[in-house]
Structure 1
Amino acid sequence: MLRVHFTATDFARLRFAARPAPLQELHAALATAVDPRGGPLFAPWRGRVLRSLPAAAGPLADLVPGGRPPSFLDVLGDTLADGFERIRATAPGIVRAELERVHGALPAPRWIHGLHEGDGAAWRTLRRAQQAAFDTVLAPVWPAVQDLHREEFARYALAAAEHGAAAALTGLAPGSRLHGGVWEWPGAGPARDVVLGGRGLVLLPTFHHPGGPLLQDAPGRPAVLTYPAGPGLPPAAGRPEDPSEALAAVLGRTRLDALRLLAEPRSTTGLARALRVSNATASAHAAALRAAGLATTARTGRSVTHRRTALGTLVAGGGPPYGAP
């Protein structure tokens, strides 16, 4: 069981990653590819991934001789380059300690020794391996991963707005519960207690690791919980890139139109005219979006103006409203 201990400060610093982290998703995918516990449903995907990995990605296997990757690989970052730079910025002492932990008495390839000594060529080997693996495993499905992340973000945001952060948090993990400031997640691997101590927690969904949560708990930094989300099986290439249908299923088609129209300030009458609905219906849609934190309403005298929030812009995805010319 995983137990995450929150303080009031940690709840105030609880946040959901705004975008997927390429390196975290890559490491989750590779961990799933080499783990046979996914069952027969994962066998075809696993076989395709392992057969397609180029030789340039081979050094990544050297980093996990016992299935335990060094912790300095667990970084956030909006792009692959950003993630790698964060890895490269790891203190040399931490790099050496983690390499010694995962390799122990096992023999290590020459380039791992170079990494241990801070050799630039060894770091370039790691970067080429990560790039090669990403290009093969994730690049073909990255638009789908981005869409799935937006959908998961919207689901969490709506749950938090309607039911509160505690309900949204437990909703991420069926069977989990929040009790006395402790989030308990049964069946999440060996017993482990993580004390946040005011550092906060970042929630990051992954769509390539169904086996349970992955927790990054670096001293002095917010903890990062990567949790399984999405439809179960990893996304396949060719998935439609437009998440409009999924968002419409959550918000309702007219309400999603309203959210997208509110990229610019609109009065209730202006919103009703654009949606081709009554003023009362437009006002009800604006109120629902406002309650979910997706829109704001400002009143000046008898005039009312609605506009979507930054969260609303992220959820809307920047696309045009349905039926827009």
Structure 2
Amino acid sequence: MLRIFFGKDDLERLRVAARPDMSMELSLSVHALVSGHRDPRFKPWRDRLRASWNPRTALLFDLYTRSAIPEFLTVRRDPGATESATAEAPEEPLREHLRSVGGERQLSAFARGVAAGDRQARKLLGNVTAEYQTRAIDPYRRQIETIVTTEHGRRGGLTEPDQVLRSLHPALSWHRPVLAVPLAGGCRHDLRLDGRGLLLQPCVFGVRRPVIARFEDPGQQPVLLYPARINGPLLAEPEPTPSRTLTALLGQTRAAALEVIADHGPCSTKDLAALLGISTASASEHATVLADSGLTAKDRAGRTVTHRPTPLGHALLAGHLPAPPTGGVSQ
């Protein structure tokens, strides 16, 4: 049992994430495969994944046990950025996790290479993660976003922290100031938030009970992952977005930026950077090019600049251009 101790400041800093954590969604989706979780709502996802399965993906299973879930797999909007970010993940959290895995079973040669910082093993880890993302996460982004956004709105109607904590999940027990979270294997641990607060992260994949993450570093805000309400099967988008044609025209990141602005706009440059997993400076550069091309427009309110799609941007995302105006120059 994990006991999370809240102070007054911690209750004031309790919040529900408004958007999904795609890195954790990917990690939890692999855990669902490892643990054999058979929720019927995920059958279309499993069937589609099985049809395009690459045997190399099974290397990711070497990083898991039923109770150990890696937090260093890093998803970015662009799979190429995912590959780099995961391959270059900080070594200490990675080694600590694999020490935990090694305490439950013998590590594979691949896992030992990753733990040892072997360059080829780390590069392979990034490559396999990015490859898995394109099949298991990217085709479902819109539905994952919708599920988590809806969950955030549902929790937003609860004004008191006690109401939020009592309504999260039947496995949790809230008796102010302690939230009790069951842990695998009957482990016992106490966590004092000490003013850090707690982020409640709704998740689509893999969690049948709440999971605590990022709590061992006193400089980070802990995250409690809990299952979001899913009303129907998880289904892939009919076509990948952004389209291959749009990606070829604009480039992977810029096409993704246009899609994000259309989905979430008006959004600030900082929000755009967070959604794409890139720096604010890079997001600003991409947004400027899109605006200069007439695909987005900028609005300023004080010091904040927000971006919204233009009709031309919407038309390009939809795969067609608006018809030219009639009544123009006669021949």
Same fold (TM over 0.5): yes
Q: Residue 198 of structure 1 corresponds to which residue in structure 2?
A: 195
What's the secondary structure of 1:227's corresponding residue?
strand
Counterpart of 1:178 in 2: which secondary structure? strand
Deviation at 1:195, TM superposition (A): 2.9
Once the two structures are TM-superposed, the CA of residue 123 in structure 1 deviates from its matched residue by 2.0
The corresponding residue for 1:54 is 54
Task: Classify 1:236/1:70 alpha carbon distance in 2 versus 1 (closer, same or farther; 3 Å).
Answer: closer
In structure 2, do the counterparts of structure 1 residues 23 and 41 end up closer, same or farther at CA, with 3 Å as the change threshold?
Answer: closer
Tell me by how many angstroms 1:20 deviates. Answer: 0.9
Alpha carbons 1:13, 1:199 under 8 Å: kept: yes
CA change 1:12–1:181 in 2 (3 A) is same
Cα distance 1:178–1:24, how it changes in 2: closer, same or farther (>3 A)?
A: same
Structure 1 pair 190–18 and aligned structure 2 pair: CA distance change class (3 A): same
* In structure 2, C-alpha distance between the alignment counterparts of 1:222 and 1:82, rounded to whole Å: 25
1:168/1:72 CA distance change after superposition, 3 Å: closer
Shift of the 5–82 alpha-carbon distance from structure 1 to 2, 3 Å rule, reads farther
Is 1:116 matched up with 2:122? no
- Name stretches of at least 5 consecutive residues in structure 1 with no aligned partner: 240-262, 264-312, 319-325
Pick closer, same or farther for the CA change 1:4–1:222 going to 2, 3 Å.
Answer: same
State whether residues 22 and 83 of structure 1, in contact with CA within 8 Å, keep that contact through their aligned partners in structure 2. no
Q: Tell me the distance in 2 between the aligned counterparts of 1:80 and 1:238.
A: 17
1:10 to partner: Cα distance: 1.4
Using the TM superposition, give the Cα deviation of residue 73 of structure 1 relative to its aligned residue in structure 2, in angstroms: 2.6
Q: Give the conservation status (yes or no) of the 8 Å contact 2:75–2:82.
A: yes
Provide the rounded CA distance (Å) in 2 between the counterparts of 1:71 and 1:179: 30
Q: Give the structure 1 partner of residue 168 of structure 2.
A: 172
In structure 2, the partner of 1:106 is 106
What pairs up with 1:198-217 in 2 under 5 angstroms?
Answer: 198-216=195-213, 217=215
Q: Which amino acid aligns with 1:143?
A: R
CA positional deviation for 1:35: 2.4
Quote the Cα distance in structure 2 between the aligned partners of 1:122 and 1:184: 38
Shift of 1:46: 3.8
Distance 1:43 1:186, change over 3 A: same
- The percent identity for this pair of structures is 26
Q: Which runs of 5+ in 2 are unaligned?
A: 239-265, 267-305, 310-331
Alignment map for 1:269-280 (pairs within 5 Å) = none
Looking at structure 2, the residues matched to 82 and 5 of structure 1 have their Cα atoms a distance apart, in angstroms, of: 37
Cα distance, 1:13 vs structure 2: 2.2
Say which SS state the counterpart of residue 132 (structure 1) adopts: helix
What letter is aligned with 1:99?
L
Q: Deviations over 1:132-188 (max 9, x none)?
A: 1111111111111011111111111122xxx31221222222464431311235798
State which drifts further: 200-209 or 52-61.
Answer: 52-61
Cα 1:50–1:226 shift into 2, 3 Å: farther
- SS of 2:209's equivalent? coil
Which residue identity lines up with residue 16 of structure 1 in the other structure? V
Q: AA paired with 2:217?
A: P
Which residue number in structure 1 is paired with residue 19 of structure 2?
A: 19
Give runs of aligned pairs for residues 290-305 of structure 1, distance below 5 A: none
Q: Which amino acid aligns with 2:66?
A: G
Within 1, Cα distance between the matches of 2:184 and 2:96? 26
Q: 1:167 to 1:27 in 2, by over 3 A?
A: same
How do 1:133-282 and structure 2 match up within 5 A?
133-159=132-158, 163-174=159-170, 176-185=172-181, 190=186, 192=188, 193-216=190-213, 217-220=215-218, 221-231=220-230, 235-238=234-237
Change (3 A) 1:226 1:155: same
Q: 1:149 to 1:97 in 2, by over 3 A?
A: closer
Deviation, 1:226, is 0.7
Contact 2:203 2:225 survives alignment (8 Å): yes
TM-superposition CA deviations, 1:271-298 (whole Å, max 9, x none):
xxxxxxxxxxxxxxxxxxxxxxxxxxxx
SS of the aligned residue for 1:129 comes to: helix
TM-score by length of 1: 0.61
Which shifted more, 201-210 or 44-53?
Answer: 44-53
Normalized against structure 2, the TM-score is what? Answer: 0.60
Query: What is the aligned partner in structure 2 of residue 30 from structure 1?
Result: 30
- Deviations 1:84-108 (CA, angstroms, capped at 9, x unpaired): 7776665534432332321246142
